[in-house]
Chain A
Amino acid sequence: MSLVEVKGVSKRFGGLTAVSGVDLTVNAGEIHCLIGPNGAGKSTLFKLIVGLYPPTEGSILFDTVDITAERPYARVQRGMSIKMQAPSVFKELPVRQNIQTALQERLSGSERSAEEDRLLTLLNLAADCDKLAGALSHGQQQWLEIGMALALKPQLLLLDEPTAGMSPEETFRTGELIRSFNSEGMTVLVVEHDMAFVRQVAQRVTVLHLGRIFARGTLDSILQDEKVAEIYLGKTHAH
């Protein structure tokens, strides 16, 4: 059953077409990876799904409901959660307060405190919970933002380059975390460049190129496609 359906979505910024006629289905319970070279339109598509950009054309359905005209907060209330490409946390607030702000609508009292502690421990941030978020390293800020996204307990978790700035060990651990959440029923849509990470987590892969769907399937089938290899090497300019 599909959780997200993107139907014929385009996004133009003046004369630039960032996303063009994209159809994409994300099934409930899967880990779906979006890959493609820089400028392919991956992050723009993410922002369209979550409502940060209105589409120029097309529609977006979440759990069979048309959410095209809804504001981001309403989509989040329906069960979406996103980690942005650049760390987007409350830098002048302590780490714990960042998590608390994400949790407070769902839990209160001792339940919330316990969940804060669980998430901070899970994300290796317990020792830094009183620091300002802006004082964390880039990788730690990525973790914190993932934690804030997870705190909402979403049906659909969107992760835009979640491992940027992380060491190989941290990247692997992030992959294992995502798999564990997925095994509990969470649907995950990931934009990522790191192929080892994609191999670790992806059940289905969609390749975007120049704002259009270029290929889709399993990672192995995608990697055997010579045209995909060519666009990553910059030899193909159009599909």
Chain B
Amino acid sequence: MFKLLEGPQTLGRGKMFWSCFLVVLAGALAYPLFADSYDVGNFAYFLIWIFMALGLCLMWGYGGMLSFGQTLFFGIAGYGYGVLAINMGGGTATIAALALSVVLAMIAAGILGYFMIWGGINGIFFGIVTLSATLVLAFFLGQTAGPEWHIGPARLNGFNGMKGMDPLTVGDFYIEGSALYYVMVALIVIVYLALRMLVNSGIGNVIVATRENPQRAEMLGYDVRKYQLLTFVIGSGLAGLSGALYTSWGQFITPSSIGLPAAAMPIVWVAFSGRSDLTATLVGSFLLLFGFQTITVYSQQAALVLMGALLLATVMLAPQGFVLGIGKLAADWWRGRRWPSDVVAEAGRLQPEDS
């Protein structure tokens, strides 16, 4: 099973890659030992969004489905966590609230995805429909300020945002600060490795084949709609995981975390990083989030303008993604030191999309 960690669908293989992976992981685990708690909390916040980026990478880069709906499912799970945590009384039940809210996002993705995919919506229309659904949810939640908008004791509160839910809790122990950071790191490692195994498996072969040529994939006997739906549900579920973790981290969520500027962010992260590779998306998204947060401290407008400029630069200069492009350069350098068959395979893997 572990041999699926490496394969034609993912960049990085061999002892060198996994040694680097372990070094980075060791650094991440050691970070709270020498950083102050504020920075650790900030890092935990950056890591929350990585799941959403990886989910979009799976859908867009591997499955060929450009979903503008990541913040839709982020919002469903984020609000879902709040409603469930408040109604279930907090405490250890928050763990169940987290799991159930992610399941809720996946069910919503299953329903929306079913109608889109079975209805033959694809290409740019997939993005338009998912964006529309996202904006509908943001608009709906924005007008829930009145006291009549509540689910049990949980008030939705319109643009003022929902609050009052407990953070993730085990017994009397709140999972915050360094503990939350370690939970994030563990979840990211699990999700990243699981996605590598998925895309390098037989299912991953079909997902990628469907992106390349859906008619041929169907003519090999695959019901491509099921594979597309599976991809959409997993990718959207990961956005839901980000949403639930976000709400538990800040004990707060508003419709602005769902609306248009927020919905565009995952597209920028993944496009800049390199949508066709999980590792590039993981690294690139983290760097962008770190940079965005750093600049936001001084000027949120400047940070948004920079994001727009980066998207333009990506489209104009590196359509395959900047981080993936740098990975390619590194692979070019490394290539001469490996067997020719590996070199050819790597060259194929890293072929620019517009060539």
Binding site for B on A (CB under 8 A): 50, 52, 71-74, 76-77, 81-82, 84, 88-94, 97, 100-102, 104-105, 130-132, 135, 148, 152
- Considering the complex, give the chain A residue whose CB is closest to the CB of B205: A101
Chain A residues closer than 8 Å to B224, beta-carbon distance? 73
Chain B residues closer than 8 Å to A72, beta-carbon distance? 215, 218-219
A-B pair count, CB < 8 Å, reads 75
| Contact among A77, A81, A131 for B344, CB-based, below 8 A | A131
Please, how many angstroms separate the alpha-carbon atoms of A101 and B208 in the complex?
A: 10
Q: Are B215 and A88 in contact (CB under 8 A)?
A: yes
| Contact among B208, B212, B220 for A102, CB-based, below 8 A | B220
Please, how many angstroms separate the alpha-carbon atoms of A131 and B349 in the complex?
A: 9
| Contact among A77, A88, A131 for B213, CB-based, below 8 A | A88
Q: Are B212 and A92 in contact (CB under 8 A)?
A: yes
From residue 309 to 355 of chain B, which have CB atoms closer than 8 A to chain A? 341, 344-345, 348, 351, 353
| Contact among B205, B216, B223, B341 for A88, CB-based, below 8 A | B216
With contacts A89-B213, A92-B212, A94-B348 taken as known, whether A100 is within 8 angstroms of B220 at the C-beta atoms is no
Please, how many angstroms separate the alpha-carbon atoms of A90 and B213 in the complex?
A: 6
B162 nearest CB across to chain A (Å): 44
Contact sample, A vs B, 9 pairs, CB 8 Å cutoff: A72-B215, A73-B218, A74-B223, A90-B212, A91-B213, A104-B202, A104-B205, A131-B344, A152-B221
Q: Are A100 and B205 in contact (CB under 8 A)?
A: yes
- Considering the complex, give the chain A residue whose CB is closest to the CB of B202: A104
Chain B residues closer than 8 Å to A84, beta-carbon distance? 216, 219
- Considering the complex, give the chain A residue whose CB is closest to the CB of B222: A73
Extra contacts besides A50-B219, A101-B217 (12): CB < 8 Å: A73-B223, A74-B223, A76-B221, A90-B209, A90-B212, A91-B213, A93-B8, A94-B345, A97-B205, A105-B222, A130-B341, A131-B348
Chain A residues closer than 8 Å to B345, beta-carbon distance? 94, 130
Please, how many angstroms separate the alpha-carbon atoms of A52 and B233 in the complex?
A: 27
Chain A residues closer than 8 Å to B217, beta-carbon distance? 90, 101
Chain B interface, number of residues (Cβ within 8 angstroms):
24
Chain A residues closer than 8 Å to B208, beta-carbon distance? 90, 93
A146 nearest CB across to chain B (Å): 13
From residue 15 to 47 of chain B, which have CB atoms closer than 8 A to chain A? none
Please, how many angstroms separate the alpha-carbon atoms of A39 and B314 in the complex?
A: 45
Chain A residues closer than 8 Å to B344, beta-carbon distance? 130-131
Chain A residues closer than 8 Å to B8, beta-carbon distance? 93-94, 97
Chain B residues closer than 8 Å to A89, beta-carbon distance? 213, 216
- Most B CB within 10 A of own CB, among A72, A100, A105: A72
Please, how many angstroms separate the alpha-carbon atoms of A127 and B353 in the complex?
A: 24
Chain A residues closer than 8 Å to B216, beta-carbon distance? 84, 88-90, 148
- Considering the complex, give the chain B residue whose CB is closest to the CB of A149: B219
Chain B residues closer than 8 Å to A73, beta-carbon distance? 218-219, 221-224
Nearest 7 pairs between A and B by C-beta?
Answer: A76-B221, A90-B212, A130-B344, A104-B202, A88-B216, A132-B348, A101-B205
A65 nearest CB across to chain B (Å): 16
Interface membership of chain B positions 186-209, coded 1 if the CB is closer than 8 angstroms to chain A and 0 otherwise: 000000000000000010011011
